Structure 1
Amino acid sequence: MLRTALLIVTGNASASALLLARNLLLARLIPVADYGVAATFAMIMAVIEMTSTLGLQQQIVQSKRGDEPDFQAALQGFQLLRGGLGALALLVLAGPIAQFLGIPQAASAYRWLALVPLFNALQHFDIHRAQRAGRYRPLILTGTLPALVAFIAVWPLALIFNDWRAALWAILLYAALGALTSHFVAERPYRPRLDGPVMRESLRFGMPLLANAALMYLVFQGDKIIVGRLAGMEELAIFAMGMTLTLTPSLIGAKSVQNLFLPKLSSAHGRDDEAEHRRFAAATFEGMFLTGSTLLLGTLLVGPIVVVAVLGEKYASLLPLLIPFALLNTIRAIKNGPSTVALSAGQTDNGLWGNVPRIAVLPLSYWALVQTGSMLPVIWLGIIGELAGLALALWRLSKVMALPEVNRAALTTVFTILSVLVLAYLPSPGSSGILVTWIGALVLVAAQFAGLTNLRSFFSRDPMPLA
């Protein structure tokens, strides 16, 4: 099982690390304000993806019919339909969006971005179906190879354009290669078709996920919209980079934990094996705890080094915001635990409820930025919203199953969070402060692993065969 987990983590980490490296290189090569414009591309693509989120990929993994060719073809047809509608919507709305953000020169770029939802919709669903049998290589290759090519292309694109257009063409290249790679690694022919009953079934399954996606858009992009609208493109670039540096590692861990455990959780639930389901649920929770703690410790130890060495002085104002950004995304990663377990038990609205408090603080964030002109209160309000969302997600999960017993892991994670906050703001400059920080971090790592009893027990079992 450890080999399988390492494959998943390595694959997800490789793709995400390459995308992060692409963004860092872009930030280094183009002006800060242009990187702010490039950050709006992700905001625009996120809203298009949000409006078409129906959990079709999760259905291939979760549904008992996931291996049936006709069911897969119907899902692929529905995916293609929604991708085409998303592309059309972006073509129509490109101008108004650019005017709202105060960058009318980017309207043509938004029209080109309409190709991205179409490319994404053309991906072959075999890469998701393979997960049912514990085969993750097709999915990993589809993410990693396009990310590598897009990263390599950034340098010449930046030399040619030296502005936000370099980001635009890197995004288009990544999306197009993703579609091509998914077909290259597929086993079945690509035969999309429209099937009314399957579409209705998908809508019933996906409507809570769609509602949650709308909330997730506001969770991930709401603060950026506020910052970009009120503070301008340079401040948006700083805020977006802080989110990127801390969100990417948490997404790697959370996605890897979900890829590993969701098929097992769904299988145990389908067999009505409550004891096995609870065991996998406990391991899932602990995997998310580990993801959050690793992010926080990594940011404490190497975050400032990355900002100074890679991004340079033009991003120096990001340094005091790193730990708050990391704490925000640590809690967000932990919140994936109850939502993943709930999804396996058929409760698709858990993530939706977990995001409600996060959205509720956005008006306060707007007010705080207007009053203070600082991004720090915006981040701390987000942290408060994430904590409330975690509590609500746990409460919702308790309605469909008894919560897993993960007391030791939860306590060690809380201890890690509090200790990192102390270490980050110790008034001990110089080499002595660095030594104290590293020793403290090593102690926290040991304590964290000692609390992961269910996760360690899971990996001590016989490994799952790889295909």
Structure 2
Amino acid sequence: MLRAALLLLSGNVATSGLLFARNLAVAALIPVEDYGIAATFALAMAAVEMASSFGLQQQIVQARDGDDPRLQDALTGFQLLRGVIAAAVLFALAGPLATFLDIPEVTWAYRLLALVPLLNATQHFDIHRLNRDNRFGPLIATNTLPSAVALALIWPLAAWLGDWRVMLAAILIHAVLTAVLSHAVAERPWRPVMDRVLWGRTIRFGWPILLNALVLFLVFQADKLAVGRILGLVPLGVFAMGVTLTLTPSLIAARTIQTATLPRLSVAVGAHGFDRKANGTLVASMSAGLAVAVAGVVGGWLSAPFLRGTDWAGLTALLGPLAIVQGLRIAKSGSAIVGLALGRSGNAVMSNLPRVVALIAGVAALAQGTDLLVLIWLGAVGEAAGFVLSAALVTWRDGVRWRMDQSIVFATGVVLTILSLSWSPLLFGAGLALPLLALMHRKAA
């Protein structure tokens, strides 16, 4: 288990690190306003992916018949259909989106981005199916190599194009290479088929995930949309970079924990010791979340001297609060993974609703002229409420018992991290909570 987790962690770190480096390179090579435009490409892609998300990758891992070629072929056909629909929707919405953001000259770029969901839909499902047997190499290679190539091409693209088109080209190159490589490492033939019975099962499994994707879009992208519309492209560029810097480690941690624990939890459902494995998953997510929060606060302090006097100076005040928000989100993912293993895919939707309420309040405050930090701190409140709700749902629906001492240590660490933004020595206290959580995870594993 430890070896598999370390392999996954290294692969996810490499993949996310390369994408992170790509974004940093683009930000360094083009003006802040152009980076704001580039950030809207991710927003457009997220909107389309959200609208067609059915958790197909999770289904092939979680389902007891996930190794059945017929199920894989049906999922492949379903994925291809959703890709075609998503591409058509993005192409149709290109004009309205560009008009809403007051950048009509970028309409053609949004239309070109419609190729990405179509390319993503042609990826081979073998890279996910093989995870059932703890064979993570194909998935890691498919995620890592295209990111490395896209990063290497940033500098020649910047020399050639010199503006936001650099990001557009990098996204398209990455999508093409990922699709091609997924077929290169596959073992089974790629056979998309239509199966009404299995598609119906996929929809029943995936509709809560679709709802959660809608919520996640609101959580991760609607605030950027509001910042771009209300404050303009330059503040959007700074805010988007802050989100990128803190979201990257968050995604690494959450993806690694889910991929490593979901197969084991799914097999252990109904067996003796499931609660112990569930608590191990939760404490792993809390440890990772607190580590991200502490690192973000330190990163804000360390970056201040280097960013002072530049167009990115406002970033230093955002890093700590944004990292705390992401840390709470990672912690919440632990109980959501347990719920998914139990077949409760709707738990994730419910646990994200407090964040949506906080987002609505934050956008309203931003429209009234309040500081951007108000939007961020309201997001932290929403994530904390979601953490409590997610854990409570698993207990209420399935009787899983959580160890309260773990949550108390985590909550203490988070509070000290928040207070350290006003008095830095308190961060040492937050740091002490990390080895305590690590010890608890070792006992629960």
TM range (shorter): over 0.9
What corresponds to 1:448 in structure 2?
434
Specify whether residues 447 and 384 from structure 1 end up closer, same or farther in structure 2 by C-alpha distance, changes over 3 A only: closer
- Calculate the TM-score normalised by the size of structure 1: 0.91
The amino acid that maps onto 1:231 is L
> Are 1:164 and 2:150 an aligned pair?
no
SS of match in other structure, 2:291: helix
* Letter matched to residue 69 of structure 1: P
* 1:253, distance to aligned residue in structure 2 (A): 0.6
Q: Distance in 2 between matches of 1:373 and 1:233?
A: 18
Partner of 2:398: helix, strand, or coil? coil
* 8 Å CA contact 1:282, 1:454 repeated in 2: no
> Shift in Å at residue 195 of structure 1?
1.2
- Corresponding residue of 1:126: 126
Partner of 1:155 in structure 2? 155
| Distance in 1, Cα, partners of 2:400 & 2:355 | 22
Comparing 89-98 with 303-312, which one deviates more in the overlay? 303-312
- The residue identity in structure 1 corresponding to 2:362 is S
Match status 1:336 vs 2:333: yes
The one-letter amino acid of 1:245's match is: L
Corresponding position of 1:290: 287
Distance in 2 separating the partners of 1:113 and 1:311: 35
Distance across 1 between alignment mates of 2:100 and 2:418: 38
Name the TM-score, length of structure 2 as normaliser: 0.96
Give the letter for the 2:3 counterpart. R
Give per-residue Cα distances to partners, 1:333-368, cap 9 Å, x unaligned.
Answer: 111111110010011110100111111123322221
- CA 1:311/1:246 → structure 2, altered by over 3 Å: closer, same or farther? farther
> C-alpha separation between the residues in 2 aligned to 1:444 and 1:132?
36
Q: How is 1:58-137 mapped onto 2 (pairs within 5 angstroms)? A: 58-137=58-137
Which 5+ residue runs of structure 1 have no aligned equivalent? 427-432, 460-467
Aligned to 1:422: 419
Give the stretch that moved more between structures: 330-339 or 355-364.
355-364
Which string of whole-angstrom CA distances, capped at 9 and with x for unpartnered residues, describes residues 273-310 of structure 1? 0x332121111101110111110121122344357658
- Secondary structure of residue in 2 paired with 1:399: helix
CA distance in 2, matches of 1:278, 1:205: 24
Q: Which runs of 5+ in 2 are unaligned?
A: none
SS of the equivalent of 1:141 reads: helix
Query: In the alignment, what sits opposite 1:406?
Result: 403
The one of 352, 355, 375 equivalent to 2:352 is 355
Following superposition, the deviation at residue 312 of structure 1 comes to 8.1
| Distance verdict in 2 for CA 1:306–1:122, change over 3 Å | farther
Deviation sequence 1:371-430 (CA, Å, 0-9, x none): 23421111111111112222222222122223443333322222222222333322xxxx
1:463 equivalent in structure 2: none
CA distance in 2, matches of 1:266, 1:292: 23
In structure 1, what is the Cα distance between the partners aligned to 2:316 and 2:59? 41
Q: CA RMSD in A?
A: 1.8
Q: Which residue of 2 aligns with 1:464?
A: none
1:158: Cα distance to partner? 1.2
1:254-269 → structure 2 map (5 Å cutoff): 254-269=254-269
* CA–CA distance in structure 2, aligned partners of residues 360 and 370 of structure 1: 16
Whether the 8 Å contact between 1:408 and 1:452 is mirrored in structure 2 is no
Cα distance in 2 for partners of 1:312, 1:149 equals 33
Residue 458 of structure 1: how far off its partner (Å) = 5.9
Cα displacement string for residues 197-247 of structure 1 (whole angstroms, at most 9, x for unaligned residues): 111110011011111111111011111111111111111111111111111
Structure 1: how far apart are the matches of 2:145 and 2:389? Answer: 38
Aligned to 2:143: 143
Instruction: Show the 5 A alignment for 1:14-25.
Output: 14-25=14-25
Q: 2:361 aligns with which of 350, 364, 367?
A: 364
Matching residue within 392, 395, 408 for 2:392:
395
Please point out which of 320, 325, 345 is paired with 1:323: 320
Larger mean Cα displacement after TM superposition, 227-236 or 355-364: 355-364
Aligned residues of 2:300 and 2:318 also touching (Cα < 8 A): no
The answer to whether structure 1 residue 280 and structure 2 residue 277 are counterparts is: yes
Q: How many residues are treated as equivalent by the alignment?
A: 445
Code of the aligned partner of 2:135: R
**Structure with greater contact order relative to length (CA < 8 Å, sep ≥ 6):** 1
Conserved in 2, the CA contact under 8 Å of 1:285 and 1:406? no
